Structure 1
């Protein structure tokens, strides 16, 4: 470090952005190996289990030690014992405060094979993991998250001694390991994810790899609120896509937006951390750590995907339309 560099100024790309993305690549490499080994089997599910385990491992290493990551069950005294206990792929909970009611082991006996039962009031987040982003897998993720509804029906006072519901700062999200080229026109997938918008604390989701794009790119699926209903004409999920609108009131519409960038994996990671800290704002970058792109490294802020003039102009028009929908200009 040069001694004359004082005072420090924000650097974009920030230090270590490529190193941070290596953790994403490790998850995807393990997933690809499992998928290849699984290719000759009649029922191909092993790569999905590997995806869950690898994501839990990465997330547990990333988050502060106050938060533990497990698969397992959320236990509430308000749910009858006759009801089937729901198993979730990823549960984030406060391990400094929470007891573990019991542990169920998988045959592999590893930490990633264990399922823990966590009392409802200590659960901070649930994430459903799926291998591919398409309508079928999105439907499964949404259906699973929808099972949280009884636990989200109320927000209890902090001083209430017996807790039956998930905390007020609870969040839920989805993660998909890849968007395959064969699913690139499956716009029903993002429409289906819109159904999760009714869940309190729904963040959206992340797609770790988009097979038509370069290796550093990730997809970010975000809920947005607009003040009018605009019919989007989607070109491809790998380009830029929007779900149909869901009308909330005469002037409020809700939709999901899918965008791709080399910064989106780090944004997703630090958004989770920001949610857990209570500082998250959907329209503000949660952190400048590990933010960078190949173009920034080369001295340009322009995404090379839009260097084609026709495509770049279309992107600008869609961006301007999106800003108008957010209320920066009248529709």
Structure 2
């Protein structure tokens, strides 16, 4: 991406993202002609766990496996989750499933509920059915939600949004149901088929308003970042005329702003809103949000980390009427 620059580490973060997608594409190609594609999903889940294990502070650990609540009988079913983040320093491993042929990231571990800080489900495509399945899995903690860590959050990671799904408002409508899932904060979409440079972030929030008069932009769910009508005018002002277009602006030097182009869509039901935004800076933004959530830092906290942001070189708009 020659038209980009960024904070320290931005190229390395984009490399991490590219490595995950390359692994996904490689395994998908290898399993295309196989009747069962289970290994496809498991391989990319393991790769994401490996990346997260290298990234997050070492007081946390990553596993696939089971959350074990405090119960007094064996009648309750225990559920498997793709990614469990837990307190490594305090949590006992109740049991491990796997054999010598499994990598560390391929083994299943059972973690007591009170030590679990975050859970993520991984899906290959952002579709209505996959959203419903992920939310159903994440909602299984509702019976013991009071036992989870005080900073507990959960979400979903989708590998890609296909071009054929970009106008399906039903995906956002299904995501809105995440408001009923304990700890659900949204998630990430690693790429859009029509432009593999941005990452999508899914956010869900309560607007504390039931007004239906608000203007809600719902589709398409994604656009090519370089096609967005975002320019610098001859007067030096930032001009955004793209429906759904926006910008993240950061002061990077005295009297200097750096800009990350943004495209976003919103779906609203009552007081609940889902926002899906796309930016080249969003992969590092997901990482920042994850670290902040693990530590219980709100969005506006001064101690939130800042690193790896990607900025776009904004084209100057020439006024042809002069």
Q: Smaller-chain TM-score range?
A: 0.7 to 0.9
Residue 256 of structure 1: aligned partner = 274
1:278, CA displacement in angstroms? 2.0
Runs of 5+ unmatched residues, structure 2: 224-263, 318-322
RMSD: 2.3
Q: For this pair of structures, how many residues does the alignment match?
A: 271
Residue 185 of structure 1: aligned partner = 167
Q: Deviations over 1:200-229 (max 9, x none)?
A: 32111100111112x331001111332223
Q: Deviations over 1:118-146 (max 9, x none)?
A: 11111101011111101111111011011
Q: Which has the higher strand share?
A: 2
Residue 84 of structure 1: aligned partner = 77
Residue 219 of structure 2: aligned partner = 235
- Structure 1 CA distance, aligned partners of 2:297 and 2:93? 27
TM, length-normalised to structure 1 = 0.76
- Structure 1 CA distance, aligned partners of 2:278 and 2:24? 21
* Secondary structure of the structure 2 residue equivalent to 1:243: strand
> Is this contact kept in 1: 2:49–2:105, CA < 8 A?
yes
Whether 1:273 and 2:291 are equivalent positions in the alignment is yes
Deviates more, 1:189-198 or 1:112-121: 189-198
Runs of 5+ unmatched residues, structure 1: 1-11, 155-164, 248-252, 308-331
Residue 18 of structure 1: aligned partner = 11
- Structure 1 CA distance, aligned partners of 2:140 and 2:175? 15
> Is this contact kept in 1: 2:169–2:219, CA < 8 A?
no
Equivalent positions of 1:245-324 (< 5 A) are 245=269, 247=270, 253-281=271-299, 286-293=304-311, 295=312, 298=313, 300=314
TM, length-normalised to structure 2 = 0.78
The counterpart of 2:203, out of the listed 206, 222, 227, is 222
Whether 1:103 and 2:121 are equivalent positions in the alignment is no
Q: Name the structure, 1 or 2, with higher relative contact order (CA <8 Å, separation 6+).
A: 2
* Secondary structure of the structure 2 residue equivalent to 1:232: coil
The counterpart of 2:27, out of the listed 20, 24, 34, is 34
